[in-house]
């Protein structure tokens, strides 16, 4: 049996659209084993729905890798217990893809390196900024260049925490991507290059003042805000409570704020704001996950 623990991830950090991501302390825990034939898929978390047939994403990721290495699949028993909310912009699909591919690589004889696995995962997911943190942990800068996907992971100090602000509704990634323009103004592109660079420098140096400047974006949030009622008001509230950087996580609708102190004050302030405005949102303060995917063979 192969046991795996894969973290949630937040991507599109600030101006780093499809490039910057971070692993946070929510997990999908999986147990996968090869059996002579058939398929058994067990969902140990009754609060979420997962397909129990060949549409299961962990199983599909396994087949994707098997096809790449030329391994003939048999039967599989897959048990999953995920804390990561689905379709909320916290990398639930990337965790499944990374978990499935890591297990499939072991089953097929460990023929692929992590660099090869991350490229396969990015191809399947469509972009690298969630799968990178899911595999390597930490704060990740991601780039796909032809037949290579390059991930640079930096471990962050433990006092940097992430307020994950989750609504009671979801936005399908395909729908959220559909509102983005096919072309952007040259000035907006230059704006994002500068701000994404500043965001990276601030994260790596721990400069929280520069972080608030670097988080600003003109490539996707302005188009997606119509799918997240009250997004701009929530952003404003987070900054009043001490956030150093607030952005739409992934394609949304989850909003994420970066903190370095007063975590309880922030959480209580947001919960009070939700009650006052009759919003069914919740706020969790999560640590950085600097480890990434953990695998053991029993």
Question: How confident is the model over 150-201, as pLDDT tens digits?
Answer: 999 999 999 999 999 998 876 655 555 566 667 888 998 899 999 999 999 9
Q: Calculate mean pLDDT across residues 3-25.
A: 94
Give the Cα separation of 247 and 23 in Å (integer): 15
What pLDDT score does 5 carry? 98
Beta carbons of 220 and 248 less than 8 angstroms apart: yes
Q: Which of 4-13, 69-78, 180-189 has the lowest mean pLDDT?
A: 180-189
Taking the C-alpha atoms of residue 216 and residue 164, their distance in angstroms, rounded to an integer, is 18
**Tokens 């140990």 map to which residue?**
44
Task: Check pLDDT > 80 for residue 141.
Answer: yes
d(CA 274, CA 165): 11
Residue 288 burial by CB count (10 A; 0-12/13-18/19+): exposed, middle or buried?
buried
Q: What percent of the chain has pLDDT over 70?
A: 95
- The DSSP call for residue 74 is -
Domains located in the chain, CATH noted:
2-155+289-297 (3.30.230.10), 161-287 (3.30.70.890)
The per-residue pLDDT for 115 is 96
Confidence of residue 264 (pLDDT cuts 50, 70, 90): very high
d(C-alpha 56, C-alpha 128), whole Å: 21
Which of the 8 DSSP states describes residue 252? S
Q: Name the one residue in this structure whose structure tokens are 């004050």.
A: 265
- 114 pLDDT more than 70: yes
**Beta-strand pair 2-11/294-297:** antiparallel
Largest Cα separation within the chain, whole Å, is: 58
Q: Is the pLDDT of residue 249 over 70?
A: yes
d(CA 139, CA 258) in angstroms, rounded, equals: 12
DSSP 3-state assignment of 246?
strand
Cα–Cα distances (Å) from 289 to 11, 134, 158, 212, 244, in that order, read 14, 9, 9, 22, 19
pLDDT in tens, 233-247: 999 999 999 999 999
Kindly tell me if the per-residue pLDDT of 251 is higher than 80. Answer: no
The mean of the pLDDT values for the chain is: 91
pLDDT of residue 140 exceeding 60: yes
- In DSSP terms, which residues pair with 39 in a beta bridge? 76
Q: pTM of the full predicted structure?
A: 0.93
pLDDT the model gives residue 240? 97
Q: Look at 14-18, 91-95, 101-105, 201-205 and tell me which has the smallest mean pLDDT.
A: 14-18
Torsion sign, CA atoms 231, 128, 294, 172:
positive
């Amino acid at each position: 049996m192969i046991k795996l623990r894969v973290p949630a991830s937040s991507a599109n950090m600030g101006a780093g659209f499809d490039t910057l991501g971070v692993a946070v302390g929510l997990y999908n825990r999986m147990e996968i084993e090869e059996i002579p034939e058939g398929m058994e898929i067990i969902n140990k978390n009754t609060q979420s729905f997962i397909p129990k047939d060949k549409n299961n994403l962990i199983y599909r990721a396994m087949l994707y890798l098997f096809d790449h290495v030329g391994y003939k699949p048999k039967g599989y028993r897959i048990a999953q217990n995920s804390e990561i909310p689905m379709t909320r912009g916290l990398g639930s699909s990337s965790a499944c893809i990374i978990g499935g591919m890591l297990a499939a690589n072991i089953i097929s004889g460990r023929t692929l390196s992590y660099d090869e696995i991350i490229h396969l995962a990015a191809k399947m997911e469509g972009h690298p900024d969630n799968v990178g943190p899911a595999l390597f942990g930490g704060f990740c800068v991601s780039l796909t260049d032809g037949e290579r996907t390059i991930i640079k992971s930096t471990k962050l100090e433990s006092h940097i925490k992430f307020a994950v602000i989750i609504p009671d509704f979801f936005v399908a990634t395909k729908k959220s991507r559909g509102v983005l323009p096919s072309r952007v103004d040259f000035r907006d592109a230059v704006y994002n290059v500068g701000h994404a660079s500043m965001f990276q420098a601030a994260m790596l140096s721990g400069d929280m003042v520069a972080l608030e400047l670097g988080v600003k974006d003109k490539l996707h949030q302005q188009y997606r805000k119509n799918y997240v009622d009250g997004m701009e008001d929530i952003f404003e509230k987070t900054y009043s409570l001490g956030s150093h950087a607030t952005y739409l996580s992934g394609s949304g609708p989850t909003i994420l704020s970066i903190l370095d102190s007063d975590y309880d004050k922030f959480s209580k302030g947001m919960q009070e704001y939700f009650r006052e405005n009759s919003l069914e949102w919740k706020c969790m303060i999560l640590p950085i996950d600097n480890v990434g995917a953990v695998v053991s063979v029993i």
